[in-house]
Amino acid sequence: MKVWIGLTAMLLLAILIAACAGHVWASPAGLLRAIAGDHALRSRLLFEWRLPRVVAAAFVGALLGLGGTIYQGVFRNPLAEPYLLGSAGGAALGATVALLVPLALPQSWLLPLLAFAGAWGATVLVIGISRVAGAVDAAGLLLAGVAVAAILGALRSFLMLALSDETVSLQVVLSWVLGGIQTPSWAGTGWLVLITLGCLALSLTLARRLDVLGLGEAMALAFGLDVRRFIMLAVLAGSVIVAAAVAFGGLVAFVGLASPHVARWLVGPLHRPLLPASALVGAIVVVLADAVARAALPPAEIPLGLVTAVAGGPFFILLLAQRLRS
Amino acid sequence: MVFWTAGLQARIMNHERAWRLAVRKSLILMALCGSAAAQPITVRDAFDRSVTLPAPPRRIIPIFASNTEIVASLGLADRIVGIEAFTRHPREVLDRPLVGGRLGFSVDAVVALRPDLVVVTPSRQAANQLIDPMERIGVPLLVLLQRSVPEILANIRLIGRVVGVPERGEEVAARFEARLGAVKRRVEIAPTPSAIMITGRLGNGLMLVARDGTYTGDAMRLAGARSALPGTATIAQVSPEAILDADPDVLLWAGSARDLQDLIARPGWADMRAVKAGRVHAVSRVELLIPGPRSIDGIEHLAAIFHP
C-alpha cells in the first residue's frame, strides 16, 4: 500500500512541478488563478496550453508503461520494448504522411489518426507475416518486426526527401519522430483519459495469463494456455496501447523499456500489480521529462524523446548496476 | 461627462484659461475615443484563416527576417517587441527579446511579450508550433507565404492593412512596383540569358539551386533571365554534373566571392560557358534569399548582371 501512495504522491508532485515549468515559470498561485478562469493572457496560456499538455504527458507515459510491460511479458525478455514490432516505423510513416502530404482533414485530427493507424497497422502486418510464415512465436514475430521496420523506415525517409521544401520543413517531421507531446484540447484530453483507462482494463484482463506465460511455454501449455493464440492476442492488445501513446506523444524513447523494470523492483513480478505500477512510473517519468524538454533551453524546446533517452539512460544503468550488485 | 466636470471646475475657477484647457482636454479625449473605437480589422491570410484584430496592433512579433523587414519597411519598427534568432536587419530591432531560433519557437516567450499580432511564415517549425496555441488563447496570428515576388508585394499591402496603415503599405508596394516596372522595361528589349543560381552546397556533393516556383526563381525571371535547369520545380538538389550539362550563360553563387572561386575551381567547371566568358558572380544572400523589401534591390542587382 505504501508503494501505491508513494507513487501517486510522486505523480501529483511531478504534475505540479511540470505545470509550473516552462520558459517562463509559473507559481502555484498563478496556476490556481488560471484554473479559476482568470482572463489574463498568461493565465489563458497556462490553462489552454500548458495544463492539457502536462496531463497528456502523464497519460502518454502511463500508456507506454502498460505497453512495455505487456511486451516484456509476452516475449519474456527484459529488453523487449513497445516499439519492437514495427510500431515505431509505422507510426513515423503515418505521421510523415500527415505532416507532409496536403490532405483534406485538419492536421490536428490527421496526425494522431495516421500515427495510430501506422503504429497499429505495422504490428498487425508483422503478425500477419509471421502467421503466413507459420511462426507465430516470439522469434518469428521479432524477425518479421525487424524486416517490416526496415521497409517502413525506408519509405518514410523517401517521403521526407521527396515532399519537403522551404515551407514544409523536415524539422517538423524530425521533431515529431524524436517525440513530443501533442497538446490536445481539453476534450481531446478527456478522450485520452478514457482511452488510457480502457487500455488499463484491457491489459489487466491479460495479467493472469501473462504470469502463466512467464513460467515458460511448456509450463503455460500444461496450465491449459493456448500459447500461440495468447501471444497473438497480447501483442495485438499491446500494439493498440502503444499506438494510442504514439498518437498523442510521438516516439518517446526508453520509457516503455525502463518503466516495467522500475515497477518490478517496487511491486514484484506479478502482472496484476505490475501493470498499474508500471503505468504510474511511466507517467511520472514522461511528465518530468516533458517539463525538462519545455523549460531547459529557452526559447527552444528539446524533443521529448531525446530528454528521456539522455536523462533516463544513465539513471536506468545506475539502478540496474545497484540491483545486480545487491 | 469629463467635459462637463472640467467645465464645472473652470466655472468655479472662473478663469478663461481654464476654459481653454478644458476644451483642449476634451478634444484630446474625443480623439482618443475615436482611435479606441476604431473598426476591427478582418483579413484572410495565406492559410485562408480569418484573422480579426480589434484595433491596430501596437505589439507585433514578426517571426523570420522577411516579416520583420516588411513591418520595419512600413516605418513600424518601434512596434516590434520580439524577433527570432536569425533576424539580422534592421539594426534597431536586434535588441528585442528572442522568441525562437533553430530549435523551435517558444509559446511562453511569445506570450511573455504580450503581443497583439504575431506574423509567421510556414518555415522551420514556426507554423506548427505557433498557430494552434495562439488560436486557443486568442492572440491574432497572420500566416504569410512568399512564393513569388508579387506575393511579397501583396504581403506588404496586407500587413499595412492589418497594422492600420493601409495607405503606407500601398505607397511602399507601389514604389517597389514602379522600380520593378523600370527593370522590366530595361530587360525586355534584350535577349534573355540562361542562368543558374547556386544557393548552397551539401555534404554529399549535391548543390542547392534556386528553383522556378520560388521567389528567388521569380526574381531571376523578373531580372530578365531564364532558368538553365527548367523542370527543377520540385527538387532543389541537383548534381554538379547537371549544372555542367546545362551550361548556363550566367552562373550565380549566393554567398561570398571566395567560396565562388572554390566552386569554379572544381574540375571541369573552367570549361563552362559562363566561366570562360567571365559571367560568374557572387550575389547577396540577404537580398535574394529573404523574401522581404530588400528583394527589390536584389532584382535590380540581378538585372545589372544579366543585362550589363
**pLDDT (tens place) for every residue of chain A, 326 residues total:** 899 999 999 999 999 999 999 988 999 999 999 999 888 888 999 999 999 999 999 999 999 999 999 999 998 887 788 887 888 889 889 988 888 887 777 777 888 899 899 989 998 899 888 888 877 777 888 888 889 999 998 998 888 888 766 556 677 888 888 888 888 889 999 999 999 999 999 999 999 999 999 998 889 999 989 988 898 899 889 999 998 998 888 889 889 989 999 999 999 999 999 999 999 999 999 999 999 999 998 888 888 989 998 887 887 788 778 778 87
In chain B, which residues have their Cβ closer than 8 Å to the Cβ of A166?
123, 214
- Domain holding B138: CATH number? 3.40.50.1980
Q: Do B124 and A169 touch (CB under 8 A)?
A: yes
pLDDT at B4: 39
* Domain co-membership, B105 together with B231: no
The residue of chain A with its CA nearest to that of B122 is A167
Residue carrying C-alpha cell 492539457: A52
pLDDT at A102: 74
Q: Do A301 and B102 touch (CB under 8 A)?
A: no
Q: Does B122 map to a domain?
A: yes
In chain A, which residues have their Cβ closer than 8 Å to the Cβ of B236?
165
Distance from CA of A158 to the nearest CA of B (A): 13
Q: Regarding beta strands B207-209 and B194-201, do their DSSP bridges make them parallel or antiparallel, or are they unpaired?
A: antiparallel
* Domain co-membership, B102 together with B144: yes
Distance from CA of A185 to the nearest CA of B (A): 9
What A151-157 contacts at long range (C-beta under 8 Å, 24+ apart), as own/partner pairs, is: A151/A89, A152/A86, A152/A89, A152/A90, A152/A92, A152/A93, A152/A118, A152/A122, A153/A89, A153/A92, A155/A93, A156/A89, A156/A92, A156/A93, A156/A96
Q: Quote the CA–CA distance of B51 and A280 in Å, as a whole number.
A: 42
Distance from CA of B113 to the nearest CA of A (A): 10
pLDDT at A137: 74
Q: Does B182 map to a domain?
A: no
DSSP A239-256: HHHHHHHHHHH----SHH
Q: What are phi and psi of B254, to 5 degrees?
A: -85, 95
* Domain co-membership, B199 together with B227: yes
Give strand pairing partners of A45: none
Q: Contact B60/B79 with Cβ under 8 angstroms? A: yes
The cell for B125 is 517549425
* Domain co-membership, B171 together with B45: yes
Between positions 71 and 90 of B, the ones with CB within 8 A of A are 85
- For residue A236, CA distances in Å to A77, A126, A141, A229 come to 18, 10, 12, 11
* Domain co-membership, B45 together with B172: yes
Q: Is B251 helix (H, G, I), strand (E, B) or coil?
A: strand
In chain B, which residues have their Cβ closer than 8 Å to the Cβ of A302?
103
* Domain co-membership, B26 together with B53: no
Q: Domain A2-325 maps to which CATH number in 3.40.50.300, 1.10.150.120, 1.10.3470.10, 3.30.70.20?
A: 1.10.3470.10
**Number of domains, chain B:** 3
Q: Does B184 map to a domain?
A: no
Give me the residue spans of the domains in chain A.
Answer: 2-325
* Domain co-membership, B58 together with B142: yes
Query: What is the residue range of B152's domain?
Result: 41-176
